[in-house]
Amino acid sequence: MNLPKRVKNWLFTVSLYVLGSQVLFAQDNYADLWSTLQVHYPASSKVRLSNEFHWRMTEFVGEPLQLLIRPKVEWKAADHITVTGGYTYIQNWPYRSGQPDLVALEHNLWEDVAFYHPLWNGRLTHAIRLEHRFTSVLFSNSSLGISERDGFAFRNRLRHRITYVEDLSDKVYMRFFNEAFVQMPTGEANSVAQFQQNWVYAGLGWRGIKDFALEAGFHHQYIVRGLERERHLGLWVAINYSIARKVPSKN
């Protein structure tokens, strides 16, 4: 299959998924612009230190949505297995009608395991992440007419991402992933597992400079909130930079 036809079929599949979810449920729609900077440092042949910075906006560029800072440590446990642990600091801005007019905070400790193997002309990765989330409890004080914070609520969440990456040339690659989010049982307030959201992404990347990659693609986020549904469609732009590790010279 030649390159234009392969990319065309790939985008067509994603479009069918998005159109199908729109027909099945009535939902609120948002247009987003997400940006990511990832910086990596290979501490050794098996350990890599990284930090991620995410800035997300909705109404495309009109309203702030999220800020994430995510330091992490990745360990290559075997040829096809990596284990990663980290912490994420999150700020969530209100964007829906009826939300308390405060920025919600989240402190998120997590660990994940990724398994990858060759598939067709690329690589398929399965990643399972368990998050331990401490999220702000917000409420609107109707008597005072203000919004207030009341500590943090604890929840666990499971995420499963399937990613396919294929090099289209020496410098250009494509990436596709699908990720499901499930809120796990946590005490009486959350006694059963609940599907929370799903992400679909399709993008192209460029590695024309050593240790640097620029990637952009289409992102679809589907969120379930009780009987309500949300659909976020947007552009996701990412920069990946790897700091070269200096190997001590042998005298």
Q: What is the CATH number of the domain that holds 124?
A: 2.40.160
Number of domains in the chain: 1
Asked if residue 42 is part of any domain, the answer here is yes
Phi, psi of 211 (to 5 degrees): 65, 20
Q: Rounded CA gap, 120 and 116, in Å?
A: 13
Asked if residue 251 is part of any domain, the answer here is no
103-107, 132-136, 182-186: least confident range: 182-186
pTM attached to this predicted model: 0.87
Per residue in 201-226, pLDDT (tens digit) is 999 999 999 999 999 999 999 999 88
Q: What domain range includes position 230?
A: 3-242
Asked if residue 227 is part of any domain, the answer here is yes
Asked whether the beta carbons of 178 and 159 are under 8 A apart, the reply is no
What's the distance, CA 48 to chain centroid? Answer: 19
Per residue in 21-53, pLDDT (tens digit) is 444 555 799 999 999 999 999 999 999 999 999
Phi, psi of 176 (to 5 degrees): -135, 135
Asked if residue 22 is part of any domain, the answer here is yes
Of the candidates 68, 158, 160, the residue with the CA atom closest to the CA atom of residue 114: 160
Q: Rounded CA gap, 173 and 213, in Å?
A: 10
Q: Rounded CA gap, 217 and 175, in Å?
A: 9
